[in-house]
Amino acid sequence: MSALILHHYPFSPYAEKTRAVLGYKRLAWHSVQIPPVMPKPDLMPLTGGYRKTPVLQVGRDVICDTALIVRVLDRLHPTTLVVPPANRASCAAWAALEQTLFFSAVATNFAPAGIKAMAERMGPELMQVFGADRQAFFVGGAARRPNAEFGKLNFIPHMHAIDVQLAEGKPFLLGDAPTLADFCAFHPTWFVRNNPGTTTALDPFKNLLVWYDRMKSLGHGRPSEMSAEAALTVARESTQWLDLDGPLLEPDGIKLGQPVVVRATDYGVDPVEGALIHASVFELVVQRKDERAGEVRVHFPRSGFSVVPVQTH
Ligand SMILES: N[C@@H](CCC(=O)N[C@@H](CS)C(=O)NCC(=O)O)C(=O)O
């Protein structure tokens, strides 16, 4: 099986979710650092336009969105399942809550004390570029950039609910082992706890903080640095494909092999064009050719992504 290559940057919460899953599974992986803002010139050859963080590369297969990344990691490394069958519906419910937790953590970080600490870490130049980049990130999608009101109504109330649930004595949200529920709740918590300007917001939640340390102690597995150029060489020289996931469920009016455009529907809606290779309830897969990456397949979750024929977009 091809090695795992994660394209990410240190302060990305969704990347931290993935790093924690890699830690729980005790996996070795290659770490490719990508910029936190556009342009991302060495990532685009792989994804064909998708810009969100993180992206998982397995040989010449490119997996977008952590919902699918976690599923692929469970398929490739099933000894420690993040979504065990006994908890599948509960995990789906937590996954549905994840964006609310993340957006409320973002809004909390963007409160004055959080922003001041972020600016000190990033420096004034990157901070300015970052603000403009994230403004553009939300153009054209169904989601709205979270505001302070959203943060107030959601962050502390959900942290409180998690704290109360953990007081019942189980080490993880759904029992004795971590599941997707924990990883979905962990990265927004990490985002706020890790910001010196907002870290004390979590001080009242003693059970949550014990759980948070437990999650952190899962570590990140065994990362080793890889250059973006080396990752592109891996893609170009790979000869295998990942197995396609799930029985065929063609989108209305679209046939396999047809040129299509796939994009996220919420935010970061940049289009990716390619030939439709697979469509199931789990994933949409397009195949495309790039000068630097060679022939690659880009995988997206089916849910939360749109697919249309090229001529109508
Ligand atoms: N649904 C996506 C959300 C990913 C996401 O929003 N990532 C943020 C960073 S935590 C991002 O892409 N920010 C803009 C960027 O990195 O360019 C997933 O689960 O992967």
Task: Find the mean pLDDT for residues 246-261.
Answer: 96
Q: What's the CATH number of domain 4-79+223-312, 3.40.30.110, 3.40.50.300, 3.40.50.12280, 3.40.190.10?
A: 3.40.30.110
Q: Which CA distances in Å does 92 have to 107, 185, 263, 283?
A: 24, 13, 22, 16
Span 62-88, mean pLDDT? 98
Residue-wise pLDDT for 182-239, tens only, equals 999 999 999 999 999 999 999 999 999 999 999 999 999 999 999 999 999 999 999 9
Checking DSSP bridges between strand 55-58 and strand 4-8, what pairing results, if any? Answer: antiparallel
CATH 3.40.50.150 fits 87-216, yes or no: no
Q: Which residues contact 119 (CB under 8 A, 6 or more apart)?
A: 127
With a 6 Å cutoff on the Cβ, whether 198 touches ligand 1 is no
Task: Give the per-residue pLDDT at 310.
Answer: 95
> Distance of CA 140 to CAs 36, 50, 67, 136, 204, Å?
20, 14, 22, 9, 38
CA 221 to centroid of chain Cα atoms: 17
pLDDT in tens, 275-311: 999 999 999 999 999 999 999 999 999 999 999 999 7
pLDDT tops 60 at residue 313: no
Domain regions of the chain by residue span: 4-79+223-312, 87-216
pTM: 0.98
Name, in order, each residue with C-beta under 8 angstroms of 274's C-beta and a sequence gap of 6 or more: 48, 259, 260, 262, 286, 287, 288, 298
As a whole-number percent, the residues of the chain with pLDDT over 70 amount to 99
For residues 34-41, average pLDDT: 98
Most ligand 1 atoms within 8 A of CB, residue of 52, 56, 186 to mutate: 52
- Measured from the CA of 64, which atom of ligand 1 is nearest? 20
Residues 30 and 220: their CA atoms lie apart, in Å, by 11
The pLDDT of residue 312 is above 70: no
Report d(CA 305, CA 290) in Å as an integer.
22
Residue 268 Cα to ligand 1 midpoint, Å, equals: 8
| Averaged confidence pLDDT in the chain | 97
266-278 tens-digit pLDDT: 999 999 999 999 9
